[in-house]
Amino acid sequence: MKALLLCAGLGVRLRPVTNTVPKCLVPINAKPLLEYWLDSLSDAGITEFLINTHYLDNQVQEYVKNSIYKKNITLTYEKKLLNTGGTLLANQDFFDNSPFMLVHADNLSFCDFKAFIKSHLKRDKKCEMTMMLFESDTPSSCGIVKLDADGIVQEFYEKVQNPPSNLANGAVYICESSMLKFLENLDIKDIDFSNDVLPKFMGKIGTYLNDIYHRDVGTIESYALAQIECRKFILS
């Protein structure tokens, strides 16, 4: 299976840390965030990575050039940010009409990714993707889901006040190749995955609960928490 790691964002909420370093390379206990993803997904059997770049892309290029995973990484530079759907459409050929993992790599996640992949392979066949879930301590800042008895997403609430639960979208997905055809048929230039795609797939999104660790490191506060919380996983 191949994976797209989304790394092109500006990291505005994480300033001043991201004034001089792209968000995907911010250090967490002296290790770049992107490296956690490459390590974890490689261990789970992902063999090829597509990484999109934009902000401070020269630093990402330099990191990849010196990475042990460099032979497994393809970089794609976006002169103008394409948003998630646009990046997928611009790189359709990379996925070879096969299932792929889609990762917003500005999160820190420790997870049994092998089990995540297995859950997708065993999903209800009406589901065209599997979404990683986690229990959020700040649910109003997340996309919250409501599931049926089979764990299939029935409702989705994107960053609303007083959400119905704390079961949140981790912004990590395994998608069938049919997703690319759906994006093409939308005929929209700037496709936002949360607002333009997910609402159209209610009843067709399987889920996998990451009950180990997942945190958006997008703010100074959450970044500081991640530095502390991840130590037990590094030291264990």
Flag whether 164 is in a domain. Answer: no
96-105: b or e for each residue (b if 16 or more CB lie within 10 Å)? eeebbbbbbb
Q: What is the pTM of this model?
A: 0.94
pLDDT digits (tens, 9 = 90+) for 56-109: 999 999 999 999 999 999 999 999 999 999 999 999 999 998 999 999 999 999
Question: Does residue 131 sit within a domain?
Answer: no
38 versus 30: the higher-pLDDT residue is: 38
Give the model's pLDDT for residue 235: 55
Tell me, what amino acid is at 66?
N
Closest by Cα among 190, 233, 198 to 128:
198
Question: Any residues with CB less than 8 A from the CB of 94 and at least 6 apart, and which?
Answer: 2, 4, 48, 50, 74
Q: What is the mean pLDDT of residues 151-162?
A: 90
Element at 189 (helix H, strand E):
none
Within the chain, residue ranges assigned H as helices are 33-43, 57-65, 83-90, 113-121, 178-186, 220-229, 231-235
Cα dihedral 189, 157, 218, 56, rounded to 10, equals -10
Range of the domain at 99: 2-123+171-199+214-235
pLDDT tops 70 at residue 224: yes
Q: Which residue has the higher pLDDT, 24 or 188?
A: 24
Q: Residue 136 domain-assigned?
A: no
Structure tokens of 164? 């119905």
Whether residue 113 contacts residue 42, with contact meaning beta carbons closer than 8 Å, is answered with no
Please report whether residue 38 resides in a domain.
yes
Mean pLDDT confidence for 18-32: 94
Has residue 163 been placed in a domain? no
How many CB atoms neighbour CB 176 within 10 A? Answer: 20
DSSP run (H or E) holding 67:
none
Q: Is the pLDDT of residue 141 over 90?
A: no
User: How many domains is the chain built from?
Assistant: 1
Residue 228: CATH number of its domain:
3.90.550.10
* 20 occurs within a structural domain: yes
The answer as to whether 208 is a domain residue is no
The distance of Cα 78 from the centroid of its chain, to the nearest Å, equals 18
Average pLDDT, the chain: 93
- At residue 218 the predicted structure's pLDDT band, cuts being 50, 70 and 90, is confident
Per-residue pLDDT band for 24 (boundaries 50, 70, 90) equals very high
